[in-house]
Amino acid sequence: MPHFFIKSNQVNDNKIIISDKENYFHIARSLRARTGEKLLLIDENKIQYETVIEAITNDKITTGINKFYPSKRFLNFELYLAQSPLRSDAQNLLIEKATELGVSGVYPVKTDNCALNNEMTDKKIDKWQKIMYESSKQCERADIPKCYPRTTIKKLLAEDHFDKIIVFCERIATKTIRESFEQNPIKKGDKVLVIIGPEGGFSQKEFEWFNNPSALLPLPQGGRENTIEMLTLGDMILRAETATTVALGNIIYEYSNYKK
């Protein structure tokens, strides 16, 4: 069933009127939908509506609501990804999979071995946001994640606080996600940051900084110090886009076992 995002003010008297150009043209022109066909709609309050098309005119679509209920297509903790952008197709795939796995947002971060220069990264932000939007529709997400402007890991951690920060360092870390969660599991409502390096891996200088970030950082907004945990995904060396999918998937899986 096709899935589209709407606003709650479009809901009235058990009907939903779709008149914004993007949704209208997608449904009426691209999909060539007809009266009697079903649509799945969701508003900003994460309320899902199962509807049927009652009428299509030159500028709007009228649907009748069969039933509605709170969506379950979201994580109950905030999962963010700070990631060094990859070249074209690999980065597009990474953004798509991160969206499917429920991230709240992606921070493109400049690292020593980053594959893209600053100018190219900045030009890609809007495209990555569009991929997030389309992927959210395809996997029936209850919300749309955000692709943030380019930043650095140091700047990000100086400006914000996260309840748990995980950086995956295959060549030097020995502790696994499961071992980490046994000692300090993610809790409902936590704000979690996952850091993934570039295709060439983190530099030695970056590894050294991960070991002692507080020495080089002021306290973030709110005053609580960020602590970085270095973990491994196993003995295999994974490409950056593969590591992202494996890392996020395993975090979600382990959270379901240890959640509080």
Structure confidence at residue 220 (pLDDT) = 55
Structure confidence at residue 15 (pLDDT) = 97
How many whole angstroms from its chain centre is CA 151? 17
**199-240 confidence digits (pLDDT tens):** 888 888 888 888 776 555 555 555 556 688 999 998 888 899
3-class SS at 197?
A: coil
- Say if residue 93's pLDDT is above 70: yes
Least confident segment among 161-170, 180-189, 204-213: 204-213
Q: Which CATH superfamily is domain 78-258 in?
A: SPOUT methyltransferase, trefoil knot domain (3.40.1280.10)
**104-125 confidence digits (pLDDT tens):** 999 999 999 999 999 999 999 9
Residue ranges covered by each domain of the chain: 3-70, 78-258
Least confident segment among 149-163, 166-180, 182-196: 166-180
Distance CA 239, CA 64 (A): 47
3-class SS at 167?
A: strand
User: What amino acid is encoded at 21 in this protein?
Assistant: K
- Say if residue 94's pLDDT is above 90: yes
**5-46 confidence digits (pLDDT tens):** 999 999 999 999 999 999 999 999 999 999 999 999 999 999
Would you tell me how many other CB atoms lie within 10 Å of the CB of residue 153?
25
Of 137, 58, 63, 155, the residue nearest 96 (C-alpha): 137
As a whole-number percent, the residues of the chain with pLDDT over 70 amount to 93
Distance CA 113, CA 207 (A): 12
Cβ neighbours of residue 94 closer than 8 Å, sequence gap 6 or more: 83, 86, 240, 241, 244, 245
Structure confidence at residue 237 (pLDDT) = 85
> Mean pLDDT throughout 190-196?
96
Mean pLDDT taken over the chain: 91
DSSP letters of 18-87? E-SHHHHIIIIIIS---TT-EEEEE-TT-EEEEEEEEEE-SS-EEEEEEEEEE---S-SSEEEEEE----
The pTM assigned to this predicted structure is 0.91
> Mean pLDDT throughout 243-254?
95
> Mean pLDDT throughout 121-130?
97
Apex CA 241: angle with CA 154 and CA 140, to 5°? 100
In terms of CATH architecture, what is 3-70? Answer: Beta Barrel (2.40)
Least confident segment among 166-170, 171-175, 185-189, 212-216: 212-216
- Say if residue 242's pLDDT is above 90: yes
Distance CA 85, CA 127 (A): 13
- Say if residue 49's pLDDT is above 70: yes
Q: How far is CA 119 from CA 110, 116, 131, 147, 179, in A?
A: 11, 8, 19, 16, 39
Distance CA 52, CA 161 (A): 44
